[in-house]
Amino acid sequence: MQASGQHSGMKTKPAPPWRAHMSVTIFGIAAAVVAAGLIQPAVSHAEKVWDIGVYDSCMKQAGQRYASGKTDVGQFEDEKVFCCTSSGGEWSASQGGCVAPPATFQTQQPKPGDVQAPRPGKAAST
């Protein structure tokens, strides 16, 4: 009779260290591939917004520095551009100052597998 806890006959070798983590690695890769296919891409299309209050406050301070002689004409012009761009506006020399950024039209991207039928009159004839 054999003592408790002993196996008869066959001796097994311990698995090599790389095999111990192989199934975890393969599962991790498979999970990542599946998740990448299911998750929608995170596309950020934040619309630029011009904060006119920040612009006005900045311009008031720049004007006061210029009027008191703390800045010259060149520095005042640079400060006008800075006030514009730092508040979210776009400097336009052709329009004579700061303008609001152009509005952007955003559409939702179709999800994979969504079927979109052509509009009436747009289908190609065969």
Stated pTM of the model: 0.48
Q: Rounded to whole angstroms, how far apart are CA atoms 107 and 37? A: 21
| Percent of the chain surpassing pLDDT 70 | 51
* Whether residue 73 has pLDDT greater than 80: yes
What whole-number percentage of the chain has pLDDT above 90?
37
pLDDT in tens, 4-21: 555 556 677 766 666 666
Q: How far apart are CA 32 and CA 37, in angstroms?
A: 9
pLDDT at 19: 63
> How high is the mean pLDDT of the chain?
77
Contact in structure between 85 and 93 (CB atoms under 8 Å): no
pLDDT, tens only, 75-103:
999 999 999 999 999 999 898 899 998 87
